[in-house]
């Protein structure tokens, strides 16, 4: 197979000017000349505000078209500009890939009362309280969109957990109680913190049939509306791998095996990557977190690092056909939660 060069066409600290889709469209000829084969675009969905980088996703059906959360455009621009950027990339032989955030929803429209238990943040399998009622931000009605494209409304029972009680003003990790509720099975999500199903905001319950149907409905609408030719999947170690395997399998059946997908599985452990790839039946590729960590260590240790070990335990070494290698990304930038920025002096060697 011909080598592919995928470019992440954004970083965390881009200006909030709404011009990014325009810049991308104008840059398409230059990117093609440089040999870029794929472009990973930032999340195009309405977030918590116009300044949201895209991971505080509010409405997957709003690509910068409706007046919601105090803005029509997203940080990157308007829907029509997003579509024009995709057309421009495809016209120059570049595969446009959308960043997909399915793990959680943010900035709900209304609160609801429901029963929870509080769990230990360091071990989410450990319950700290008896069941009690909170007032949580879990009602998503998308009033600004007024049922355009889809009329589904989200409620507390579509989620597994949340992190804020508006009644008391207290933050914590609250597991929602009810029929067939609870975190995903331990073997279907990462085992950090006991069970890492819950990451942030209102966490989607992938056991709920209405949630599954809405995601499939959205995916068909999104792919057919935008013409994207692939997905980058955010935070997959927090999402039920049984659902994710079936979802991507079904997308490939419907849109072809060339609809390229890779996931952010942020875990450098070799065995964890082996197990995850097996659990999804190798339906999509993964970023090579271990290789990034090795490159970071080399850049820090300088002459004390043995370059013969640079590929040790990496996906590139163990599963080369499933590896998406990278040097740095938006999460590893300085000031971010996964900060591990490779020293500037080593970056040319790392890319090489």
The predicted-structure confidence for 249-262, as pLDDT tens digits, reads as follows 999 999 999 999 99
Which structure tokens are listed for 212? Answer: 């599954």
**Residue 1's pLDDT band (cuts 50, 70, 90):** low
Query: Is the CA virtual torsion 126, 131, 134, 137 positive or negative?
Result: positive
**Residue 226's pLDDT band (cuts 50, 70, 90):** very high
Query: Which residue's structure tokens are 């000349």?
Result: 33
Do 253 and 223 contact (CB within 8 A), yes or no?
A: no
Topology agreement, domain 6-101+220-289+320-330 and domain 110-209: no
The mean pLDDT of 175-192, rounded to a whole number, is 96
Task: Mark whether 344 is an active-site residue.
Answer: no
Of 27, 65, 99, 234, the catalytic one is 234
The mean pLDDT of 2-24, rounded to a whole number, is 94
The predicted-structure confidence for 86-122, as pLDDT tens digits, reads as follows 999 999 999 999 999 999 999 999 999 999 999 999 9
Q: Closest by alpha carbon to 175, among 123, 124, 111, 238?
A: 124
CA distance 30 to 9: 13
Q: pLDDT averaged over the chain?
A: 96
Which 3 state secondary structure label does DSSP give 204? strand
CA distance 342 to 352: 14
pLDDT at 351 > cutoff 70: yes
**Residue 318's pLDDT band (cuts 50, 70, 90):** very high
Question: Domain-by-domain residue ranges, the chain?
Answer: 6-101+220-289+320-330, 110-209, 290-319+331-352
CA distance 287 to 267: 10
Q: Strand 285-287 relative to strand 260-263: parallel, antiparallel, unpaired?
A: parallel
The mean pLDDT of 130-145, rounded to a whole number, is 98
CA distance 71 to 165: 26
The predicted-structure confidence for 50-95, as pLDDT tens digits, reads as follows 999 999 999 999 999 999 999 999 999 999 999 999 999 999 999 9
CATH fold for domain 6-101+220-289+320-330: TIM Barrel (3.20.20)
The predicted-structure confidence for 227-252, as pLDDT tens digits, reads as follows 999 999 999 999 999 999 999 999 99
CA distance 254 to 259: 9
Q: Please name the CATH architecture into which domain 110-209 falls.
A: Beta Barrel (2.40)
The mean pLDDT of 178-197, rounded to a whole number, is 96
The mean pLDDT of 138-162, rounded to a whole number, is 98
CA 105 to chain centroid: 11
pLDDT at residue 336, as a whole number: 86
Task: Mark whether 264 is an active-site residue.
Answer: yes
Of 81, 109, 264, 288, the catalytic one is 264
CA 53 to chain centroid: 12
pLDDT at 141 > cutoff 80: yes
The mean pLDDT of 295-312, rounded to a whole number, is 96
Q: Lowest mean pLDDT: which of 1-15, 168-182, 227-241? A: 1-15
pLDDT at residue 332, as a whole number: 87
**Helix-helix angle 209-226:241-255, to 10 degrees:** 40
pLDDT at residue 2, as a whole number: 73
- pTM beyond cutoff 0.85: yes
């Amino acid at each position: 197979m011909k080598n592919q060069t995928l470019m992440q066409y954004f970083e965390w600290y881009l200006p909030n000017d709404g011009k990014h889709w325009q810049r991308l469209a104008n840059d398409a000829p230059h990117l093609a000349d440089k040999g870029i084969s794929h472009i990973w675009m930032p999340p195009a969905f309405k977030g918590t505000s116009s300044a949201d980088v895209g991971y505080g996703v509010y409405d997957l059906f709003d690509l910068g078209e409706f007046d919601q959360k105090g803005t029509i455009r997203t940080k990157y621009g308007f829907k029509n500009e997003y579509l024009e950027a995709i057309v421009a990339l495809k016209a120059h032989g570049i595969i446009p890939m959308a960043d997909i955030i399915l793990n959680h929803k943010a900035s709900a429209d209304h609160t609801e009362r429901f029963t929870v238990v509080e769990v230990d943040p360091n071990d989410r399998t450990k319950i700290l309280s008896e069941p009690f009622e909170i007032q949580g931000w879990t009602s998503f009605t998308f009033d600004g969109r007024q049922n355009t494209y889809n009329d589904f409304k989200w409620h507390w029972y579509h989620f597994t957990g949340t992190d804020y009680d508006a009644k008391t003003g207290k933050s914590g990790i609250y597991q929602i109680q009810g029929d067939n509720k609870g975190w995903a099975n331990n073997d279907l999500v990462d085992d950090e913190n006991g069970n890492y199903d819950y990451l942030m905001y209102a966490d989607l319950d992938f056991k709920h049939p209405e949630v599954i149907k809405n995601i499939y409905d959205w995916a068909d609408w999104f792919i057919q509306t935008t013409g994207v030719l692939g997905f980058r999947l955010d935070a997959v170690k927090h999402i039920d791998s049984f659902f994710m395997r079936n979802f991507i399998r079904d997308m490939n059946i419907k849109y072809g095996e060339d609809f390229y997908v890779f996931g952010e599985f942020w875990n450098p452990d070799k065995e964890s990557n082996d197990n995850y790839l097996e659990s999804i039946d190798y339906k999509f590729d993964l970023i090579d977190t271990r290789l990034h960590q090795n490159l970071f260590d080399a850049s820090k240790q300088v002459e004390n690092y043995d370059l013969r070990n640079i590929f040790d335990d990496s996906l590139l070494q163990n599963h080369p056909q499933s590896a998406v290698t990278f040097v740095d990304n938006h999460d590893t930038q300085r000031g971010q939660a996964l900060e591990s920025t490779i020293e500037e002096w080593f970056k040319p060697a790392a890319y090489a």
